[in-house]
Amino acid sequence: MGTTLSTLKPPEGARRKRKRVGRGPGSGTGKTSGRGHKGQKARSGGSIARGFEGGQMPLMRRLPKRGFKNIYRVQVDAVNLDVLERVFEPGEVGPAQMRARGVVPRKAAIVKILGRGEVTKAFTVKAHRFSQTARDKIVAAGGTVQVLSELEAPVAATEAQAEATE
């Protein structure tokens, strides 16, 4: 006979009974309910704060503090010209194509083109930022440079993710 809803049950040993404390000396967890005698950990609400060292100055307060996290930091992903030359054919290259080929991370919001390497193909490169060397090399190879607005950068990232899922 096959399995039906009325005959379903978990495998042997998969479900353990709840530990019932304070139910007499024969249970093994009677009287003090497994908490031992007295002390802070035996009391209700007797939990100790994380990092508390019994009144000694905690490690996190003994160590010196250094630096800060800039909450206005902007993540810029760099791509060098030698990578464009190796990965792409002549034509239009933008952040969406770079994400699709894995040249920049999928979450890349702002892309900057840097000038390492040589360019022999005529690219129309669209990016948010360009180094002067990269601009000069792209134009010298017969290509064009198009600067994208950084305000629209996150929108471009979500468009690329939508294209990837389709």
Average of per-residue pLDDT across 131-150: 93
**For residue 3, what pLDDT is reported?**
86
pLDDT surpasses 50 at 55: yes
Q: Categorize the per-residue pLDDT at 108 as very low, low, confident or very high, splitting at 50, 70 and 90.
A: confident
Q: State how far the Cα of 109 lies from the Cα of 22, in Å rounded to an integer.
A: 58
The phi, psi pair for 29, rounded to 5°, reads -125, 45
Q: How many CA atoms lie within 13 A of 140 on its CB side?
A: 11
Average pLDDT, rounded, for the chain: 88
- For residue 103, the number of C-alpha atoms closer than 13 Å in the C-beta half-sphere is 25
SS3 39: coil
At the topology level, CATH places domain 76-165 in: Ribosomal Protein L15; Chain: K; domain 2 (3.100.10)
In terms of Cα–Cα distance, which of 36, 61, 65 is closest to 49?
61
